[in-house]
Amino acid sequence: MGYLSIKGLTKRYGDFTAVQNINIDLEKGEMVALLGGSGCGKTTILRMIAGFIEPNEGTVEINGQVMNKIPAYKRNVGIFFQNYALFPHMTVYDNIAFSLKLKKMDKNVIKEKVESILALVKLEGLSERYPRELSGGQQQRVALARALVMEPNVLLLDEPLSNLDAKLRVEMQVEIKRIQRTLGITTIIVTHDHEEAVSLADRIIIMNAGHILQVGSPKYVFNHPKTPFIADFMGFANLIHGTVREVSDGRTSVRTSTGAVVNSTDTESDKAAVDEEVIFSIRPENILVSDKPEEGYLKGKVLSLTYKGNNTRIVVENIFDEPLTVSSYDYEGPAAGEDIYVAFPESKVIIYKK
Amino acid sequence: MKEKRNVLLLALPCTLTLLIAFIIPMVYTFIKALINDNLTYYTKFFTDPFYMKIFGNTIKLSLKTTLLTLVLGYPSAYFIARTKSKIKSILIIATIFPFLVSAVIRAYGWMVILGDSGILNQFLLNAGIIDSPIKIMYTETAVMIGMAQLVLPYMILSITGVIQNIDPNVENAAKSLGANPVQTFFKVTFPLSAPGVISGCILVFTMGMTSYITPQLLGGAQYLTMSTLVYSQIKTTYNLEFANAICYILVFAILIFQIVANNISNSVNKRLGSGKNA
């Protein structure tokens, strides 16, 4: 029985089921990420927790109290909107003080609280500005401060970093994590970016089409996606079809239609029998590359190279029917059209039954 | 700079037409009347309580009409702006639909309803709510009702446009921060819709000040406004000079109102900022 407990939550719009029988339990102070593509129902769940929409079935409980019939303004749930939704007609100070003024707090107390939260989000000295006079990152921090200052029981973050540039995004990830830890607020973060989910959350919930597909620690989900769909979503660019040739001592050997053989010693993989058709998967960055033939390496041809700063994304053909995506750090290997040799560390290859 | 000149060129036809057909004759008549009669008729107007009362009534009527349409129009505008259902376009058409019926016909319609033996009085008599017919026709109330119906679409459309541009999440944010629906409305929704409310009020007030058909038919000789007074000065009293002076008093009154209202509108718009927060 967690601090925030969602039981059998279902939301339908006409014939369309946006959210289907969702169960989530959060411990006090825990930060959980809802990860999924657009339209998977993650934002709908957030809006039901906040109280903006009512579920057709199921309950939302906070600290043991059923929230379904309690209007949004009495729930003390802070929400951070993807587009910030700041009050454009109010200064930064008035935006943040909004909830405190509604509670009819003493003016000096409000001033103190606003100033300390401004310090927390590093926005001192901007309290008299209007939202339109702030940069995207500053607006975002105002929105965060506004949600935090009310000392919410639960904090909901809807795609908090999606509108920021790469540098600011990393900065804010650290900030959000630090603030959430400092204040110990039970938090749900909704995102479509697996890296964001992995770096922020204590636990990740992967969703698709209104269902929960997998729940686990960031590290576990990152390394052991339960299905090929999740693997694809978590950045496993390679999903390759093959047939099990041999199973022994926890090692599964898979042969593809091109005759290439790949071994897996991953203990969490599906247990497939000999001659069974399977899909195996490996993260691009776990594949080893070489420019000359080596023991255990398969020969292929470089189809294309994309430089991404430190990483280079290499698409390799002629090994499997499917093109293979490899990500290499500081790559200085063969150019497009040249031969390349790749190897698959056995513990990093995951096998899925079809 | 060439671009700027081209833009000005686009405004030329309209400007010329207004200048030749409206502004020059207006200024000419105004100056000519001043030369001929000095301020005789203006003094007459401002020193006679009878006329001052009509002036006051006209302003009062316009203000009341504005307030009534605002109260009636805002909820409709909010609903039209926020509804996601397919009837939205039907509602907008329904709002504009009354424009197809002329103000004269609508005034006659109100006569049938509001007259001493009209539908409303018949109903109230039969229901036993009143013993003798209440007098509505040829009172301020009748004119106000008729006017409000006439100008309501302008108010609704002005406000709808602005509310449509308010991010619904801003209202949700207010709720999540502890504002009940009433507080959310007065602290967030209404201030953000102020530009639409102001422009709607300017439109409606100006139309109320200058309307002629409705006060003439529903107010008659018993409830005079500035415009019906002008008419009676021309047609009944044949006092063209006085009618002329009343016209200019009305024009200047509206001009002053417009300047004040525009200043308010500008300062509100400035406060809200031209750009929306993405």
d(Cα B96, Cα B157) in Å, to the nearest integer? 9
Q: pLDDT-based confidence at B276, cuts 50/70/90?
A: very low
pLDDT tier at A1, thresholds 50, 70, 90: low
Return the structure tokens found at A226.
């339960």
Q: What is the mean pLDDT of chain B?
A: 91
Which of A67-71, B84-88, B266-270 is modeled with the greatest confidence?
A67-71
Q: Is the CB of A146 inside 8 Å of chain B's CB atoms?
A: yes
The answer for residues whose C-beta is within 8 angstroms of residue A74's C-beta and 6 or more apart is B178
Cα B195–chain centre separation: 16
CA distance A43 to chain B (A): 13
Complex-level ipTM: 0.82
- The predicted structure's pLDDT at residue B277: 37
Residues on chain B touching A102 (C-beta within 8 angstroms): 177-179, 183
The order of strands in the sheet holding A16-26 is: A16-26, A4-13, A57-62, A65-66
Contact B174 A50 (CB under 8 A): no
Which candidate, A186, A236, A255, A272, places its Cα nearest to that of A348? A236
With CB atoms and an 8 Å threshold, state whether B167 touches A85: yes
Whether A87 sits inside 8 A of B173 (CB atoms) is yes
Q: How many C-beta atoms lie closer than 10 Å to residue B253's C-beta?
A: 16
Higher pLDDT, B197 or A161: B197
> Using CB atoms, which residue from A73, A83, A86 is nearest to B175?
A73
pLDDT above 50 (res A232): yes
Q: What is the pLDDT of residue B2?
A: 65
CB A282 within 8 A of CB A350: yes
Alpha helix stretches (DSSP H) within chain B: 2-18, 24-37, 40-47, 49-82, 87-96, 103-114, 119-126, 140-164, 168-176, 181-184, 190-192, 194-210, 213-214, 226-235, 240-272
Beta carbons of A348 and A286 less than 8 angstroms apart? yes
Regarding pTM above 0.80, the answer is yes
Residue A73 with chain B: CB contacts under 8 Å: 175-181, 183-184
More confident residue, A147 or B85: A147
Three-class DSSP category at A49: helix
CB-based contact A73 B180, cutoff 8 Å:
yes
Rounded mean pLDDT, A31-55: 92
Fold of B50-273: MetI-like fold (1.10.3720)
Distant-in-sequence, close-in-space partners of A350: CB < 8 Å, separation ≥ 6? A224, A225, A231, A236, A264, A266, A268, A269, A280, A281, A282
Residue B121: phi, psi to the nearest 5? -65, -40
Q: CA-CA-CA-CA torsion for B39, B41, B43, B48, nearest 10 degrees?
A: 180
Min distance B263 CA to chain A CA atoms (Å): 18
Mutate to test the interface with B, among A99, A114, A153 (most CBs of B within 10 A): A99
Which residues pair with residue A324 across a beta bridge?
Answer: A316
Query: Which residues in chain B touch residue A86, judged by CB atoms under 8 angstroms apart?
Result: 170, 173, 277
pLDDT-derived band of residue B1, with 50, 70 and 90 as boundaries?
low
Domain coordinates of chain B in residue numbers? Answer: 50-273
Lowest mean pLDDT among A304-313, B38-47, B218-227: A304-313
Of B176, B183, B188, the CB nearest to A87: B188
Cβ of B277 within 8 Å of Cβ of A98? The answer is: no
Average pLDDT (A140-144) is: 91
Does A163 score more than 80 pLDDT?
Answer: no
Task: Give the model confidence (pLDDT) of A268-291 as tens digits.
Answer: 777 777 888 889 889 888 888 888
In DSSP notation, A274-300 reads TT-EEEEEE-GGG-EEESS--TTPEEE
pLDDT at B273: 63
CA-based nearest residue in chain B for residue A80: B173
Average pLDDT over residues B86-110: 91
How much is the pLDDT for A260? 82
**Binary contact (A102, B178; C-beta < 8 A):** yes
Subunit contact B167:A83, Cβ cutoff 8 A: yes
The shortest C-alpha distance from B179 to chain A (Å) reads 6
Is residue A283 a contact partner of residue A195, using CB atoms and an 8 Å limit? no
Q: Which residues of A touch B86 (CB under 8 A)?
A: none
Give the pLDDT band of residue B278 (cuts 50, 70, 90).
very low
pLDDT above 60 for A338: yes
Pair A59, A7: CB distance under 8 Å: yes
Determine the distance in angstroms separating the CA of B131 from the nearest CA of chain A, rounded to an integer.
48
pLDDT digits (tens, 9 = 90+) for B30-76: 999 999 988 999 999 999 999 999 999 999 999 999 999 999 999 99
Q: Is residue A339 pLDDT above 80, yes or no?
A: yes
Residue A160 binned pLDDT confidence (cut-offs 50, 70, 90): confident
Amino acid identity of residue B232, one-letter, is S
Residue A351: predicted pLDDT:
87
Based on its alpha-carbon atoms, the radius of gyration of chain A, rounded to whole angstroms, reads 24
Residue B239 has pLDDT above 80, yes or no: yes
Per-residue pLDDT, A217: 92
